[in-house]
Amino acid sequence: MSAPAKKKRKLMFALGNEAVAEGALIAGCSFFAGYPITPSTEIMEIMAKRLPQTEDGVFLQMEDEIASMGACIGASLAGRKAMTATSGPGFSLMQEQIGYACMTETPLVLVNVMRGGASTGLPTNPGQGDVQQARWGAHGDHPIIVLSAGDVPECLTMTVTAFNFAEKYRTPVILLLDEVTAHTREKIEIPAPDEFQIFNRLVPSMPPEWYKPYEETVRGVPPMPPIGSGYRFHVTGLIHDKLGFPTSRPDEVKGLNERLFRKIDRFFHDIQLVDRYETEDCDHLVIAYGSVARSAKLAVRQARERGVKAGLLTLRTLFPFPRIHVEPLLRHCSKILVPELNMGQISREVKRVNNGRVQVRTINRVDGQIITPSQILKEIS
């Protein structure tokens, strides 16, 4: 992404949370509704300050997280790029409407800064305990995109990516950070807005009377007009037909459910993002995400210095699980290590893909502290 004519980039000493807000504004976010909660509060604070300074930005502090999600869904249906940010307890409250956004194919971005522990847990310590909740928290079978970020520059780029995926695929996108990523301050260069490719949702080009809002299209994602633009459409969480009205006709039910999954499944190659480090010839593979990936990178570098053929696969996309990137590596690795700040939520995905082929070990740290490079190094050398 290094622009040929390098424009003057803004240098910032920024928190992960600040980078998220910066990324959202670059992506064109013009609506934020939320309820403050540590360790995500700075995202909300910055959006509260910055959105009113933009041309049509709207910021709302809501009465709780349930209302926040509702407001974001409404804003998105009205044509805006909407975002909310929360942490553990708030994320639980948002689950029902994540399902609603999936069913109604409403694009939005939800940032969940993971803290340690269940319930109120450890508000000021990191954890990665919401990984499977992000995938399966909303009830009913539904597809969803879950992304992660591990350092400050990545917070910015992954937020832009989250908006792009939401708009491209008409789906809610969950971005998972952890407390360490969110509260680490680092030097970052803010890329110029034109260095990013920004996607906007497809709007219908046919006359309003021809428009069928939930019809299968060649591109797989139906176009979406903003409410009030002359196109009539009905929005419901019930299983609906092509016009958006409730149905229980088995063929229509099947059609909708399968289309919702197909919409994401056929773009796996675009959605499943990973970063490879020294994986070409590696024998001992580390699979990590979030702040842990950062520790893992240093550990792999140190292991290489000691002559161990170590490599790192950093998962930027957690769900749909990037199987297409993990599988080829299983051919030449003999050991896999999955360090994470939970009792084993991504390692179960790795084991599923691995299917018993190579040895999979885990480091599971749940004491509110981060996994250090030395802890990983000890396991791989």
Nearest to 318 by CA among 203, 180, 94, 165: 165
- Looking only at residues 9 through 38 of this chain, which bind another protein when binding is defined by CB under 8 A? 11, 13, 38
Count, residues near another protein per rule CB under 8 A? 21
Q: Report d(CA 123, CA 114) in Å as an integer.
A: 9
Binding mask 73-112 for another protein (x = CB under 8 A): ----------------------------------------
3-class SS string, 177-201: EEHHHHHCEEEEEECCHHHCCCCCC
Nearest to 333 by CA among 274, 299, 269, 380: 380
Based on CB atoms, which residue is closest to another protein, 247 or 372? Answer: 372
Cis peptide before 39 (omega within 30 of 0): yes
Name residue 337's beta-bridge partners. Answer: 286, 361
Count of C-beta atoms within a 10 Å radius of residue 324 = 13
Tokens 């000691």 label which residue?
Answer: 306
Q: Report d(CA 161, CA 24) in Å as an integer.
A: 10
CB of 175 to another protein, least distance (A): 20
Assess 159 for contact with another protein (CB under 8 A). Answer: no
Based on CB atoms, which residue is closest to another protein, 35 or 231? Answer: 35
Count of C-beta atoms within a 10 Å radius of residue 242 = 16
Assess 366 for contact with another protein (CB under 8 A). Answer: no
Q: Report d(CA 152, CA 134) in Å as an integer.
A: 21
- Looking only at residues 192 through 231 of this chain, which bind another protein when binding is defined by CB under 8 A? none
Binding test (CB under 8 A) with another protein, winner from 92, 200, 364, 372: 372
Tokens 């004519």 label which residue?
Answer: 5
| Among the residue ranges 49-57, 80-88, 256-264, 365-373, the one whose residues contact another protein (CB under 8 A) | 365-373
CA angle 215, 221, 226 (to 5 degrees): 80
Q: Report d(CA 333, CA 281) in Å as an integer.
A: 8
Assess 124 for contact with another protein (CB under 8 A). Answer: yes
Based on CB atoms, which residue is closest to another protein, 41 or 171? Answer: 41
Binding test (CB under 8 A) with another protein, winner from 183, 242, 304, 348: 183
Distances (CA, A) of 178 to 17, 83, 112, 125: 10, 18, 8, 8
| Among the residue ranges 58-66, 94-102, 306-314, 370-378, the one whose residues contact another protein (CB under 8 A) | 370-378
Give, to the nearest 10 degrees, the angle between helix 65-77 and helix 88-103.
Answer: 30
Amino acid at 194: D
Binding mask 284-323 for another protein (x = CB under 8 A): ----------xx-xx--x----------------------
CB of 344 to another protein, least distance (A): 22
Binding test (CB under 8 A) with another protein, winner from 41, 76, 159, 184: 184
| Among the residue ranges 141-149, 179-187, 240-248, 250-258, the one whose residues contact another protein (CB under 8 A) | 179-187
Binding test (CB under 8 A) with another protein, winner from 180, 271, 326, 346: 180
> Where does this chain bind another protein (CB under 8 A)?
11, 13, 38, 122-124, 180, 183-187, 294-295, 297-298, 301, 370, 372-374
